[in-house]
Amino acid sequence: MVERLQPAPDCVELVMEFPDDEAPKPGQFYMLSTGDGRDTYLPRPLSFYRTFSPRRMSFLFRVVGPGTQALAALKPRDRLQAMGPLGRGFPVPDQPIRAVLVGGGVGVPPLWSLGRALLERGAKVTALIGARTRSGLLGQAELQALGLEVRTATDDGTRGHRGPVTELLPGLDADQVFACGPEPMLRAVQAFAASRPLPDTYLALEAAMACGYGVCLGCAVERAKPDPELGPYGTYARVCREGPVFRWDEVKF
Ligand SMILES: Cc1cc2nc3c(=O)[nH]c(=O)nc-3n(C[C@H](O)[C@H](O)[C@H](O)COP(=O)(O)OP(=O)(O)OC[C@H]3O[C@@H](n4cnc5c(N)ncnc54)[C@H](O)[C@@H]3O)c2cc1C
Ligand code: FES
């Protein structure tokens, strides 16, 4: 780990140097642990956030329990174990679409690389970021530095729109919506996609994960429509393999 930043009182950004340069796709994640017995037995899933070079990238996370506490306690030059990139990321269209990104709290990290990829393809991109209060708004300056238009919302009205960030959606023209954040926010985006309709709306889900690569089945979510080709396994999808990014109508959560 090369640098530790603290963008909010309970959030840490770790900049890491990787030995290889397998470029992750926006929305993919890594399983991270200190690997030295200081943390939990199992690694923790985290989306990558900013990429600075093919081998240098960062992770931005809220400290909520033993796994994230141990990662947050790392110091520059400490080593950590990372497995990835894992999972299915956001599909990035080649056409210059009008895209709206919606991030709630620590749902912002996967939107940075997605925003950059969309801008490179000529898209017009607006990012909506929300939090309970203004100190929880993450990534605003970093998304603006990419060239995205950023609008904010806070539950208590201390910055931007007062209320859920998804209340900003109806005022925007969008061909596609991409969202990552807490479940109530994802449900509101799902309902918005259904009401327009906006078929190309994608949601990045979170789930408790033990393995991260499809074998423990601990991260299963119900598919909206069972896949008969998969027999008894067609009722569920694994967030770590078939996700974490799903089209809005693929899963029930
Ligand atoms: C694909 C994927 C990508 C993720 N990317 C990110 C990311 O970029 N940044 C980030 O901060 N988190 C991210 N998460 C969530 C992160 O994995 C968990 O916060 C982490 O595993 C918690 O581990 P812990 O040992 O610190 O806490 P645990 O002991 O596992 O949990 C401690 C307590 O916090 C609660 N909790 C767990 N997760 C959260 C949460 N996200 N917010 C609030 N409370 C929680 C638990 O229910 C429990 O009560 C991602 C999860 C997935 C599946
Ligand atoms: S975390 Fe093990 S199957 Fe998904």
| Tokens encoding 106 | 């620590």
Lateral strand order in the sheet of 44-47? 44-47, 29-33, 81-86
Looking at residue 206, what DSSP letter applies? -
Ligand 1: does its nearest atom lie under 6 Å from the Cβ of 58?
A: no
Together in a domain, 140 and 215: no
> What ligand 2 atom has the least distance to the C-alpha of 212?
1
Nearest to 49 by CA among 91, 5, 80: 5
Q: Percentage of residues in the chain with pLDDT exceeding 90? A: 86
Phi then psi for residue 242, to 5 deg, are -75, -20
Q: Residue range 217-234: average pLDDT?
A: 88
Residue 22 confidence class, pLDDT cut points 50, 70, 90? confident
Per-residue confidence (pLDDT) for residue 228, from 0 to 100: 85
Per-residue confidence (pLDDT) for residue 179, from 0 to 100: 98
Asked whether 61 and 46 are in contact (CB, 8 A), the reply is yes
Residue of the nearest CA to atom 11 in ligand 1?
61
Between the alpha carbon of residue 12 and those of residues 4, 70, 175, 204, the distances in Å are: 7, 11, 33, 21
Per-residue confidence (pLDDT) for residue 186, from 0 to 100: 97
Which tens digit of pLDDT belongs to each residue from 29-73?
A: 999 998 776 656 689 999 999 999 989 999 999 999 999 999 999
Ligand 1: does its nearest atom lie under 6 Å from the Cβ of 30?
A: no
Per-residue confidence (pLDDT) for residue 54, from 0 to 100: 85
Per-residue confidence (pLDDT) for residue 14, from 0 to 100: 97
Asked whether 229 and 206 are in contact (CB, 8 A), the reply is no
Calculate the average pLDDT of the chain: 94
Per-residue confidence (pLDDT) for residue 38, from 0 to 100: 63
Range of the domain at 67: 3-86
Residue 20 confidence class, pLDDT cut points 50, 70, 90? confident
Q: Percentage of residues in the chain with pLDDT exceeding 70? A: 98
Say whether pLDDT at 6 is over 70.
yes
Is 72 a member of any domain?
Answer: yes
Domain boundary among 58, 86, 114: 86
Together in a domain, 154 and 226: no
Asked whether 211 and 240 are in contact (CB, 8 A), the reply is yes
10 Å CB burial of residue 21 (0-12, 13-18, 19+) is exposed
Together in a domain, 122 and 218: no
Per-residue confidence (pLDDT) for residue 90, from 0 to 100: 98
What pTM value is reported for the model? 0.95
Residue of higher predicted confidence among 198 and 29? 29
> What ligand 1 atom has the least distance to the C-alpha of 11?
11
Per-residue confidence (pLDDT) for residue 58, from 0 to 100: 97
Together in a domain, 114 and 65: no
Per-residue confidence (pLDDT) for residue 40, from 0 to 100: 66
Per-residue confidence (pLDDT) for residue 39, from 0 to 100: 59
Which ligand lies nearest the alpha carbon of 47? Answer: 1
Q: Residue range 216-224: average pLDDT?
A: 94
Q: For residue 222, give the 3-state DSSP assignment.
A: strand
Together in a domain, 65 and 8: yes
Together in a domain, 117 and 189: yes
Provide the number of structural domains found in the chain: 3
Three-point CA angle 118, 152, 253, nearest 5° = 70
Asked whether 16 and 36 are in contact (CB, 8 A), the reply is no
Residue of higher predicted confidence among 205 and 231? 205
Is 239 a member of any domain?
Answer: yes
Which ligand lies nearest the alpha carbon of 59? Answer: 1
Which tens digit of pLDDT belongs to each residue from 109-157?
A: 999 999 999 999 999 999 999 999 999 999 999 999 999 999 999 999 9
Q: Give the domain CATH number at 68.
A: 2.40.30.10
Ligand 1: does its nearest atom lie under 6 Å from the Cβ of 118?
A: no
Together in a domain, 47 and 132: no
